[in-house]
Amino acid sequence: MDRSKIVAVITGIISLVLAIAYLLIVQIIDFRGEMLPAPIVETIAQGLLT
């Protein structure tokens, strides 16, 4: 195998590892449950205090 093919294979492996890691992280975050919005009253009050 010449150098360019080795670099292409290594780059492809790194790409696949990053893609799988991203999908796993998204699944873990999604598994935590529904995101709750911030309370509006507290957000407005903090905006007025700054």
In the predicted structure, residue 1 carries a pLDDT above the cut 90: no
Q: State the pLDDT at residue 36.
A: 76
**C-alpha span between 27 and 50 (Å, rounded):** 37
Instruction: Identify residue 23 by its one-letter amino acid code.
Output: L
Q: State the pLDDT at residue 29.
A: 85
Please spell the DSSP secondary structure of 1-50, one letter per residue.
--HHHHHHHHHHHHHHHHHHHHHHHHHHHHHT-PPPPPPHHHHHHHHHH-
- The pTM of the full predicted model, rounded to 2 decimals, is 0.59
Between residues 41 and 3, which one has the greater pLDDT? 3
Q: State the pLDDT at residue 47.
A: 66
The terminus-to-terminus CA distance of the chain in angstroms comes to 63
| 16-49 pLDDT tens trace | 999 999 999 999 888 877 777 767 776 566 666 5
